[in-house]
Amino acid sequence: MNIYNYFNSFIKAEIKELQLKDKLPLDSIIDGISVDPPRQINHGDLACNAAMVLAKKVKLDPISIAKLISKRIITHSDVEKVDIAGPGFLNITLKKNVWHDQLRNVLKAGEKFGDSEIGKGKSINVEYVSANPTGPLHVGHARGAVFGDVLSSLLEKTGYEVTREYYINDAGAQIDILARSLYRRYCEKLGQESYEKPEGFYPGEYLIDLADKLVIKDKKHWLDKPESEWLPELSRYTVDEMMKLIRKDLSDLGIEQSTFISEKSIVERGMVDTVLNMLDEKGLIYTGVLEPPKGMKPESWEERPQKLFRSTSFGDDIDRPLKKSDDSWTYFASDLAYHLDKYKRGFTNLINVWGADHGGYIKRVQAGINALTEGNVNLDIKLCQLVRLLENGEAAKMSKRAGTYVTISELVDYVGRDVVRFIMLTRKNDAQLDFDIIKAQEQSRDNPVFYVQYAHARSYSVERMAKDAFNAQSFDYKNLQKCDLSLLNGSDELALIKLIALWPRIVEMASEAQEPHRIAFYLNELASSFHSLWSKVREDESFRFVVTDNLELTQARLALVCGLRTVISSGLNILGVEPLEELRG
């Protein structure tokens, strides 16, 4: 438990005591009470709004309530002093040894420091990427992929049991087109061009490569055969091969999902019919005619009765069609079946990571899943906005393999996996992201990946020097845990310890908000704080980490550096970025 939560519970308990002793009314509200790190340094270590929250319902002024509570808080052995400030804030200053103990906890717990149990006993299904198996992944997919992967790690860090899932859209019409495109390439290989390029032809080079493989595998077997003979087989073959490509791309990014669910298998198991029957039984299906959307030119619009799901009963804007004009299921229908499948596999907490262009789809899926599960499922949908690839501020143009877009493997080859992963998290998921592939490789303050890695590497640099100056054994973790941390009493050192001690809170809040970018921002701040302390020695010799005539002080300072390193490394591990011990070769 982090100290903010700890004091939150403590203060609430004390307030209950006061209520029992009739000092405060019993019905006063405790819910909105929070304990936070204050923004201003002179506001102490913890700021609590309890008095103001209580004053809301009780007809007492906040200041006198604050006085009442502060008398209780001051009895805690960790508390140095309590100030009442502003409109009724309780500003709590903790004894220095509390912070020293926090640092000691980091050294004892190692990377487990920051683990939380807020998700203990809960399982959650995170579905991400789920790109159509029609070609290699591109940059837009990379963002959703990294986001989903890091969100999963973050949830695991806070105790959730996470299933990382990929939904393979291997059933729609675009798969037929893909197979026909491959067939065309196959014919080309064998010197026959009479088979026309199909409508919506996939032009990427990867299909030429695949056609090579197919010729080697099946020789001329499919040549001059009717489509009905080769289409089913080649569809299956192409999807399998595309999924190999995609999984390769994902593994280049360090992503390995445990569960792959095929749309085709959902359909073949009759799940779509099940969904239709369920909705029908609930009276949520009818045949109707949709209005054409206003503001759009309905050129080819023809009014047509179709089978509709009454999603407006569940908060959607219009009712949604389940069947196309050719009587086949819409994507929506099979997607409902897929989500029902998740529920039947035992998941009630679902997260889907989608591209922002699918935003208009959220309400209907939530409506559908609510209808199918009686509201038992909580489905969160995270949208990732576009990524704009830049080269020194100009739009990047480095695409070759896929025809029209930059692929993940091109990007990873160019800047490296760690850079891709980190940069993808330097923006909130729902804000657009500019990814400058030149700047992302710079070794400068501009490049957050470098900046954080540099701080991490510097910690090793200090350790090496300390070990050179004394005997190495004095600095192993066991000895550092036991050393006298009270020697760390400079304001800069204490400030750094406090920032390190913030880590568990950052983790919990990022997890609750489902916002992995907060980890990246925090690491940047932590690195900055360390670089700053590091440079202090230029103004004042006494800031030297390694003090050659003082082993105890050097141990204490190295303990601080190791604590910092542990947190950085633990943060980078959540991001899936490898912490480096040295930056120059």
Touching RNA, residues 469-528 (CB under 7 A): 509, 512-513, 515, 518, 521, 528
Nearer CB in complex with RNA: 18/171? 171
Cα separation, 68 vs 76, whole angstroms: 14
Q: Is 235 in the site for RNA (CB under 7 A)?
A: no
Cα separation, 486 vs 338, whole angstroms: 58
Coil vs helix vs strand at 392? coil
Residues 246-265 binding RNA (CB under 7 A) are 263
Asked if 211 contacts 189 with a C-beta cutoff of 8 angstroms, the reply is yes
# of chain residues touching RNA (CB under 7 A): 102
Residues 11-50 binding RNA (CB under 7 A) are 32, 34, 36-40, 42-43, 47, 49
Compose the 343-362 pattern: x for residues touching RNA by CB under 7 A, - for all others.
Answer: -------------xxxxxxx
Nearer CB in complex with RNA: 485/499? 499
Instruction: Quote the least distance from Cβ 94 to RNA, whole Å.
Output: 14
| Span of 7-15, 87-95, 254-262, 409-417 interacting with RNA by CB under 7 A | 87-95
Q: Is 427 in the site for RNA (CB under 7 A)?
A: yes
Cα separation, 136 vs 209, whole angstroms: 13
For 128, counting Cβ atoms within 10 Å of its Cβ (0-12 exposed, 13-18 middle, 19+ buried), the class is buried
| Span of 94-102, 220-228, 415-423, 531-539 interacting with RNA by CB under 7 A | 531-539
Instruction: Quote the least distance from Cβ 549 to RNA, whole Å.
Output: 14
* Binding-site member from 1, 20, 431, 472 for RNA (CB under 7 A): 431
Residues 445-474 binding RNA (CB under 7 A) are 445-446, 450-451, 454, 457-458, 461-462, 465
Asked if 357 contacts 328 with a C-beta cutoff of 8 angstroms, the reply is no
Q: Is 395 in the site for RNA (CB under 7 A)?
A: no
Instruction: Quote the least distance from Cβ 408 to RNA, whole Å.
Output: 18
**Site of tokens 């939380």:** 116
Asked if 195 contacts 218 with a C-beta cutoff of 8 angstroms, the reply is no
* Binding-site member from 290, 390, 438, 495 for RNA (CB under 7 A): 290
Residues 163-222 binding RNA (CB under 7 A) are 169, 171-174
* Binding-site member from 75, 287, 300, 471 for RNA (CB under 7 A): 300
Query: How many Cβ atoms are within 10 Å of 137's Cβ, its own excluded?
Result: 25
Nearer CB in complex with RNA: 72/544? 544
Nearer CB in complex with RNA: 326/549? 326
Instruction: Quote the least distance from Cβ 429 to RNA, whole Å.
Output: 9
Dihedral Cα 336, 161, 261, 202, nearest 10 deg: 100
* Binding-site member from 301, 400, 479, 489 for RNA (CB under 7 A): 301
Instruction: Quote the least distance from Cβ 112 to RNA, whole Å.
Output: 22
- CA angle 366–368–373, rounded 5-degree value: 95
| Span of 70-78, 239-247, 273-281, 286-294 interacting with RNA by CB under 7 A | 286-294
Query: How many Cβ atoms are within 10 Å of 363's Cβ, its own excluded?
Result: 18
For residue 322, what is the enclosing H or E element?
A: none
Instruction: Quote the least distance from Cβ 189 to RNA, whole Å.
Output: 27
Query: How many Cβ atoms are within 10 Å of 478's Cβ, its own excluded?
Result: 9
Residue in 259, 244, 248, 578 with CA at minimum distance from that of residue 421 = 578
Cα separation, 17 vs 26, whole angstroms: 10
Residue in 60, 58, 70, 66 with CA at minimum distance from that of residue 25 = 58
Nearer CB in complex with RNA: 64/432? 432
Cα separation, 370 vs 96, whole angstroms: 52
Q: Is 288 in the site for RNA (CB under 7 A)?
A: no
Cα separation, 217 vs 42, whole angstroms: 74
Length of the chain equals 585
Instruction: Quote the least distance from Cβ 493 to RNA, whole Å.
Output: 11
Residues 553-572 binding RNA (CB under 7 A) are none
Cα separation, 63 vs 579, whole angstroms: 48
Asked if 555 contacts 439 with a C-beta cutoff of 8 angstroms, the reply is no
Residues 131-150 binding RNA (CB under 7 A) are 132
Tokens of 220: 């001329």
* Binding-site member from 251, 277, 376, 532 for RNA (CB under 7 A): 532
Q: Is 268 in the site for RNA (CB under 7 A)?
A: no
Nearer CB in complex with RNA: 222/454? 454
Residue in 184, 262, 271 with CA at minimum distance from that of residue 223 = 184
| Span of 67-75, 275-283, 370-378, 437-445 interacting with RNA by CB under 7 A | 437-445
Nearer CB in complex with RNA: 84/211? 84
* Binding-site member from 31, 199, 224, 302 for RNA (CB under 7 A): 302
Nearer CB in complex with RNA: 193/240? 240
Backbone phi, psi, residue 450, to 5°: -60, -45
Coil vs helix vs strand at 309? strand
Query: How many Cβ atoms are within 10 Å of 534's Cβ, its own excluded?
Result: 18
